[in-house]
Amino acid sequence: MVIKIDDEKVKKIADYYGLKNQLKQLVEECSELSVEALHYTRERGGTERISEEIVDVLIMIQQIIYLLKNDTEKLEKYADFKLDRQLGRIEREQK
């Protein structure tokens, strides 16, 4: 379930705008995604707009990861920890 995003394009855009601008843009894109998700839950929107906003957020996240020079191995460890923690919560809720 990996979405392939062109790394070279991501880097070129990120380098041009820089971290501060792209963090602001990330906030905007996240807000747009949250609005579309809320519209969907209220039956005022569809999944197409959600999909479009997801891609915008993913692109921005890729840029921020690159600009912060984050180690993907470290991020993968965080992801595993958080996924395992949530699965533990689900197991406890099911008991």
* 71: confidence class by pLDDT, cuts 50, 70, 90: confident
Tokens of 9: 């394009």
- Integer CA distances (angstroms), 11 to 3, 69, 71, 75, in order: 16, 11, 15, 18
pLDDT tens per residue across span 22-35: 999 999 999 999 99
Question: In the prediction, which pLDDT does 48 show?
Answer: 94
- Integer CA distances (angstroms), 74 to 14, 26, 57, 77, 93, in order: 21, 21, 20, 5, 29
Instruction: Provide mean pLDDT across the span 18-22.
Output: 98
Whole-number Å distance between alpha carbons of 59 and 79: 18
